[in-house]
Structure 1
Amino acid sequence: MAILALKSRPTEISPDADKSGPIELVRYVCAIGAMQSAAAIPRVVPITHCGPGCADKQYMNLAFYNGFQGSGYGGGPVVPSTNASQREVIFGGADRLRELIESTQLVLDADLFVVLTGCIPDLVGDDVGSVVRDFQKKGVPIVYAETGGFRGNNFTGHEAVTRAIIEQYVGPWDGVREQGLVNVWSLLPYQNTFWRGDLEEIKRLLEGIGLKVNVLFGPDSAGLSEWRDIPHAQFNLVLSPWLGLSTATLLEERVHQPFLHIPVVPIGARQSSEFLRQVAEFAGLPSERVEAFIKSEETRYYNYIDGFTDFYSEYWWGLPAKFAVVGDSAYNLALTKFLVTQLGLIPAKQIVTEDPPVEHRDAIRAEFRNIDHDVSVEIDFIEDSYQIHQSIRNADFGHKPPIIFGTTWERDLVKEMKGSLVEVGFPASYEVVLSRSYVGYRGALSLLERIYSTVVSHSA
């Protein structure tokens, strides 16, 4: 697994922190990693125009050593690549790309091909758009996105891919809106280790209050028919601190489609019920069905929690009191909110690692400062793992061993601190993840099982 990358923006660990040089033990990949976002759409195949090994590194980092999620229909070893060499650097790679697209159509069965560029074609100036437009004129379902590594990370690349599909593939809006239909823009596929199960739970909750859902990514998506249906939705739901906002803004400008932005991904009964009521109010849904569904879910949830309280009351003296979260802003915020408001744990250190755009950082800070009515959390934006680990070592965890919600990179640190680790983000190399979810009512129960099984097994 690659462990070094260039910093694209300075960290904010302190005013005096080093603002240049490599990043140790990275927690994202470069923009062309968005090939996995394309592969997350059923029957979509990415085509990479990049150097040899680039596509394989993205797959191995995001989809293998991160919960061992697998390649799916169009990802992993399926992905065609130009494997651009010195020849393409000198003479350009447009002809090589054209040849690859032609041969890919003969070999692979896909509803849509997404061409993604790497550093080489973006630096030498290959006119990828012209090549792809030639195929589009022939009726080939294909789009392109410029995703050279210097353009940003895979979060940036993901937004480029969604924009490309909307602008180049989704047809014009005919003015018809379907009431009760919502497009969901939320967790980053494959980067988020539990994205498949989480999107399944989000869809289940929204359908439970009477909405029809275009979830767009993952096994619960209908694929390209959902993407073509995007303009007809009543509204867009952006369920994350910032990812998806540019897509929702694009659709607002393009087809005058309103959007609802809820920064906190819900975990547990309190957040899930609040989330559903917010969405229902925005969508104009009748309250009777919404409240009936919430009551049913809360009854089931608290029935399990009632059983859990026997364990919690018996072992409270040996359980962690303070915690740290190291991860992207979406899961960091969601976990912190849940652990504080529903378990009563005390936040000791929250570190956001995905390098969110500067223009969104104040809004992210504001959400953490409003964790609960009497809890305000200050966060650090840090990408370098050496600095992250130093920050955690310097945090005050009291007299009990800490519990850290982080990644495989924190394993040695947690052993050193004699604490417990729950891997909740990239890379998660000691977790095998199929359909597990940590969001919603049901995901929270799975999360509780994972947390306290880890703690008990550590203390044994």
Structure 2
Amino acid sequence: MSISGTKDTDKDFGECEKLKKTNSIEQVRYGCALGAIHSAFAIPRVIPITHCGPGCAQKQVTSISFNNGFQGGGYGGGAVIPSTNINEKEVVFGGENRLRELIEATFKILKADLFVVMTGCIPDTVGDDVRAVVGEFQKKGLPIVYAETGGFKGNNFTGHELVTRAIIDQYVGDYDGPKEKGVVNVWSLLPYHNTFWKGDLTEIKRILEGVGLKVNILFGNKSDGVSEWKNIKKAQFNLVLSPWLGLQTAEHLKEKYGQPYLHIPVIPIGAKETSSFLRKVVDFAGIDKERAERFIEQERKEYYNYLEGFSDFYAEYFWGLPAKFAVIGDSAYNLAITKFLVNQLGVIPARQIITDNPPEKYRKLIVEEYRNIAEDVSTEVEFEEDSYIIHEKIRKTDFGNKPPIIFGTTWERDLAKELKGHIVEIGFPASYEVVISKSYVGYRGALTLLEKIYTTTVSASA
């Protein structure tokens, strides 16, 4: 059976374009490359230093880590971030001296294990030699690296790859020694941009350790910070757990250290997908399968024990629950949630729209994943960044006779009301969620996601 809510995709797109004849993007869903300051301070005791215009860093923080689950800035983010705040003087005469002064002051005032200098559009445009300035401090043995992240380089997904590569090449350094079997570096969700990244990475680390691996999770509360990054080069392999983010880093590590990598596009949600995911990793790592199976069976048993009670609710109230859904968000969560809803709950995918602008070379792979979303279910996916066009597409979608459920962002709240449907915020911006440690992935996260979905639908009908 092939299920698709996008038969008239090309026609719809043409109609939307006629309505909106502009090159602007309405209600943006990502930051600029400088937004990857979040990737820096997502590493414990790492502080970014921004060489940019006034307000550039502040705007990224306000949108990505505040109006997105109100996550806060932690040790090195938010109001802590030093900035040159360059203006007309630096545009005319260059800002290298201003940057040098800021770095010197930062080392005197702030304590960190590593500083990451990141540039905005102005210094990248006027040609400031940031490499030379930072190099002066590197030669003194100080822990500092730089990444050129002017906004025109791309969005914060692009910036993330630039930051990780800068730390690897300038701080982790070269290595041709032995690798440690059973050690894995995990490259997955984009810190802070993914609203639930902290809890998700915690769950991913937990289940990988459960099957017997030693995990360099690299970002978040469960990371050991720069000492963990220093050990990247000794890992047996890299795990890229996302449709595309992290692949460039893994390919670079393969070339630099000779490390193989395993790419699993679908972030696992629920017992079926998580168990399959763990078995693939165990096979690739060549570690003890019996130990892994004991852990998997224990987790599966606990998961389905919880679902016993839920199944009574699902059977009793099935007539009043949404039958079709739409997902609007970045490729990682879009694919993961679509697969979970189809395989675990049997809900019908009506429209899937990816908003993180994946590089063209990865899109074919992503499209194929949706065409094989389940054994007997196929659906199409669309790539769109403009909320005006996205919302027009959703309005034209056939959701049947029941209220739809939309997995999206704050931008979709009014749209859901207009369609008399339900909204579950799963990504940036999420200004109606306060997130501390919530996770939607793995065995435990799936239960939390089910609670969120059906609390939303039941409370809306009360």
Q: TM-score, normalization: structure 1?
A: 0.96
Unmatched runs of 5 consecutive residues or more in structure 2: 1-9
Please list the CA deviations of residues 304-360 of structure 1 after superposition, one character each: whole Å capped at 9, or x if unmatched.
Answer: 101101111110010000000000000000000000000000000000000111111
Q: CA offset at residue 373 of structure 1?
A: 1.0
Question: For residues 310-389 of structure 1, what are the structure 2 equivalents within 5 Å?
Answer: 310-389=312-391
1:240 maps to a residue whose letter is S
2:411 maps to a residue whose letter is W
Task: Tell me the SS of whatever aligns to 2:69.
Answer: coil
Residues 20 and 156 (structure 1 numbering): CA distance in 2 closer, same or farther, change over 3 Å? farther
Question: Which of 117, 131, 153 does residue 129 from structure 1 map onto?
Answer: 131
Q: Distance in 2 between matches of 1:25 and 1:13?
A: 20
Q: Is the 8 A contact 1:50 1:121 kept in 2?
A: yes
**Counterpart in the other structure of 1:84:** 86
Q: CA offset at residue 285 of structure 1?
A: 1.4
Question: Which of 440, 445, 448 does residue 443 from structure 1 map onto?
Answer: 445
1:170 maps to a residue whose letter is V
Q: Is the 8 A contact 1:28 1:153 kept in 2?
A: yes
Task: Tell me the SS of whatever aligns to 2:57.
Answer: helix
**Counterpart in the other structure of 1:21:** 23
Q: Distance in 2 between matches of 1:361 and 1:230?
A: 28
Residues 272 and 47 (structure 1 numbering): CA distance in 2 closer, same or farther, change over 3 Å? same
Q: CA offset at residue 21 of structure 1?
A: 1.3
Q: Is the 8 A contact 1:13 1:380 kept in 2?
A: no
**Counterpart in the other structure of 2:141:** 139
Q: Distance in 2 between matches of 1:144 and 1:416?
A: 46
**Counterpart in the other structure of 1:248:** 250
Q: Distance in 1 between matches of 2:189 and 2:270?
A: 17
2:404 maps to a residue whose letter is P
Q: CA offset at residue 286 of structure 1?
A: 1.8
Task: Tell me the SS of whatever aligns to 1:169.
Answer: helix
Q: Distance in 1 between matches of 2:111 and 2:331?
A: 36
Q: Is the 8 A contact 1:53 1:83 kept in 2?
A: yes
**Counterpart in the other structure of 2:434:** 432
Q: Which runs of 4+ in 1 moved over 4 A?
A: none
Question: For residues 48-127 of structure 1, what are the structure 2 equivalents within 5 Å?
Answer: 48-127=50-129
Q: CA offset at residue 287 of structure 1?
A: 1.5
**Counterpart in the other structure of 1:34:** 36
**Counterpart in the other structure of 2:177:** 175
Equivalent pairs: percent with the same residue? 69
Specify which structure has the bigger relative contact order, considering alpha-carbon pairs within 8 angstroms and separated by 6 or more residues. 2
Unmatched runs of 5 consecutive residues or more in structure 1: 1-10
Count of residues in Structure 1 that have an aligned counterpart in Structure 2: 450
Q: Distance in 1 between matches of 2:114 and 2:372?
A: 42
Question: For residues 154-193 of structure 1, what are the structure 2 equivalents within 5 Å?
Answer: 154-193=156-195
2:410 maps to a residue whose letter is T
**Counterpart in the other structure of 1:6:** none
Task: Tell me the SS of whatever aligns to 1:113.
Answer: strand
Question: Which of 253, 257, 260 does residue 258 from structure 1 map onto?
Answer: 260
Task: Tell me the SS of whatever aligns to 1:249.
Answer: helix
Q: Is the 8 A contact 2:176 2:257 kept in 1?
A: no
Q: CA offset at residue 172 of structure 1?
A: 1.8
2:146 maps to a residue whose letter is Y
Q: Distance in 1 between matches of 2:325 and 2:270?
A: 18
1:363 maps to a residue whose letter is L
Question: Which of 232, 237, 240 does residue 238 from structure 1 map onto?
Answer: 240
**Counterpart in the other structure of 1:288:** 290
Please list the CA deviations of residues 221-279 of structure 1 after superposition, one character each: whole Å capped at 9, or x if unmatched.
Answer: 00001100001000000000000000000000011100000000000000000000000
Q: Is the 8 A contact 2:33 2:149 kept in 1?
A: yes
1:68 maps to a residue whose letter is F
Residues 250 and 12 (structure 1 numbering): CA distance in 2 closer, same or farther, change over 3 Å? farther
**Counterpart in the other structure of 2:207:** 205
Residues 60 and 189 (structure 1 numbering): CA distance in 2 closer, same or farther, change over 3 Å? same
Q: Is the 8 A contact 1:328 1:353 kept in 2?
A: yes
Question: Which of 412, 417, 420 does residue 419 from structure 2 map onto?
Answer: 417
Q: Distance in 2 between matches of 1:37 and 1:254?
A: 21
Q: Distance in 2 between matches of 1:450 and 1:15?
A: 35
Q: TM-score, normalization: structure 2?
A: 0.96
Q: Is the 8 A contact 2:34 2:149 kept in 1?
A: yes
2:328 maps to a residue whose letter is V
**Counterpart in the other structure of 1:4:** none
Q: Is the 8 A contact 1:192 1:426 kept in 2?
A: yes
1:63 maps to a residue whose letter is S
Q: CA offset at residue 174 of structure 1?
A: 3.6
Q: Is the 8 A contact 1:119 1:148 kept in 2?
A: yes
Q: Is the 8 A contact 2:13 2:389 kept in 1?
A: no
Task: Tell me the SS of whatever aligns to 2:455.
Answer: helix
Please list the CA deviations of residues 141-189 of structure 1 after superposition, one character each: whole Å capped at 9, or x if unmatched.
Answer: 0000010001100000000000000010003214211000000000000
Q: CA offset at residue 369 of structure 1?
A: 0.8
Q: Is the 8 A contact 1:12 1:382 kept in 2?
A: no
Task: Tell me the SS of whatever aligns to 1:254.
Answer: helix
Q: Is the 8 A contact 2:25 2:386 kept in 1?
A: yes
